[in-house]
Structure 1
Amino acid sequence: MAAAQESLPDLVRRVKPSVVSVLTYDLKGEPLISGSGFFVRPGEVVTNMHVIKGAHRVEIHTLDGKGRTFPVAGALAVDDEADLALLKVDLPAERSHPLPLTTSIPDEGEKVFLIGNPLRLEGSVSDGIVSAIREVPDLGRIIQTTAPVSHGNSGSPLFNMRGQVIGIVTVKVTNGQNINLALGVSRIASLSRGQLMSFDQIGTRNRSTTQPEVLAELWYRGGIDSLWLGNYDSALNYFETAANRNPRRPETWIQIGYCKVKQGRNDDAIRAYKRALQLRPTSAEAHNKLGDAYFFAGRFEEAIASYKEAARVQPDQPEAYYNLGLAYLEIGDRAAALAQSRLLEPIDPDLNKRLLAELQR
């Protein structure tokens, strides 16, 4: 309880030693761009992929005390789609201060703050509130805040008022303005550490990919960027073009379905999700989203069947049980909804509180 009552200055003092500047250099040793990052494990820092892209050498500068600079050995994991990179840093264990992560969904209006390095102003603090939360299939939740950001904030941790990281800041620009966005930490937790890669190796990945796949990937990334900003019409155009270039990628059809749900075109969305399931029958995400399309179309029995299949394929997916609870409420089966609550509680207590709130209405 003490942590929940800390003032913002106290919170900043506690978590600031875990935040770092990320400095990048080219082959000649000339500085490239800088960004931010934070420790998630001893000797491991997470940042945005675009911060290190094209670098030959990377360093971090700590913000504890007078601060020190340490070399980065390479990347343990990269996630191009989520714009994430997990870096291995050569530094003494006592200089690592991993931050606690939480997948709890913040409420709109909840106070948040971030620490980063805008315009090389190391350790700058900005605060605000959560202004919106939206979901991007196969990526995670996007948190929009009123906390000001600039390019040096890319990779900064976004904190709740308990000093827990709820997201990683990614600077997006639209109409010449920075949009204050962060990706929820679930994607960070799913980063799979592999063999250490040098930064030169990162730059040469996937060069053997065929031209149609390269073009499809570019269009797909454009769609993801539009989803970050909540531009569903623009995103759909990107994803449909990507599907024309490479129709065998199930994630593309999931995104098409998601955009069409947002447009109210539920029947079209159902067809898109079914196409995704033809390509990947064991996709819990596709089953869950197909259930959403049925739900919004008022076809609750079919929604329940899809949500059940999502839970069967991935029993630890909390959204399936939450959605099942809501669907059972729609058909008046409170007992079945309560049963889903009992299944959800040990997996995601915070999401279960939301389901129980619906049950009590």
Structure 2
Amino acid sequence: MSYTMKQNDANSLIIVIVNYRTPELTIDCLRSLVDEVRSLAGTSVVVTDNASGDVSVARIQAAIETEGWNNWASVMPLQHNGGFAFGNNAAIRSVLKSNNPPSYFLLLNPDTIVRPNAIDILVDFMNRHPQVGIAGSRLEDPDGTPQRSAFRFPSLLSELDSGLHLGIVTKLLSKWVVAPPVPKDKCQTNWVAGASMIIRREVFEQIGLMDEGYFMYSEEMDFCLQAKRAGWSCWYVPQSRVVHLVGQSSGLNNTKCPSKRLPQYLFDSRRRYFLKNYGWLYTALADHTWASSYVLWQLRRVIQRKPYEDPPKLLIDFLRNSFFIRGGKFNPPKTS
């Protein structure tokens, strides 16, 4: 399946939404895009369905037809569920091969509701800053409470802070904390959340598509790192506001549900990121740093009689997936 842009001006944009068994969320997301699409000439939306195996494709297609969105929205069913990068790449690859590819691509989660002018603001920012390759929106709760969505790349010091859970250490290492406090104004950052992330076409042309070796999580972080190494900057643009119903599409980080055991793909993604980008020695040091500091935190928690609030069997699962158990081999990056 191929897609053709009506024009290739500075505002031409493809929005990609990856659906997996969340048809109602996806439809609500599409509904929030109606005014955005009208205000931005040359904008289209592609919903890729990661082989949901339910009513998703039929339900989303029916909504597109009923609501009269056919001129700008379409559904691309995929043969299997290859994860977040796979679902996005399927649409992006097809569009890049077209005769008139767009200036920008926007990755948008199905569990988002776009606030007025959010997309227009991102496109305008990219038009004004040609050296910027990637930009992300301010993600927020329905009541407007901001979510942390501008991040730093992880390091040995951030792994120490993450495992230790000690306030004074967090303050001392504030420059290395992966998820710093939410910035109030636009700023350059290492990476932004893939829930609402705009990417310049030339970035894909230079570094390739997202690494499909990640099933879910860390793929946008890895992509931003590759872009940075190629000379592209990444920015956080809080004037672009997008409601993010955290955990509704992935099932993780949903504060309304009890803490669940972390899925295998999350550990796989972390391990892949460190091995691919920093090598086996750094990965071994990162794993040792987090595990040893986390053990210290657990000892302190028991002594201070604090409740256990982490996911079940977190330390055991981490160690089972660490460099020391699984070694330093990983599959080469997948981008096609």
Larger RCO (CA within 8 A; separation ≥ 6): 2
Computing the radius of gyration from Cα coordinates, the structure with the larger value is 1
Give the TM-score normalised by the residue count of structure 1.
0.28
Q: Which has the higher strand share?
A: 1
**TM-score, reference length from structure 2:** 0.29
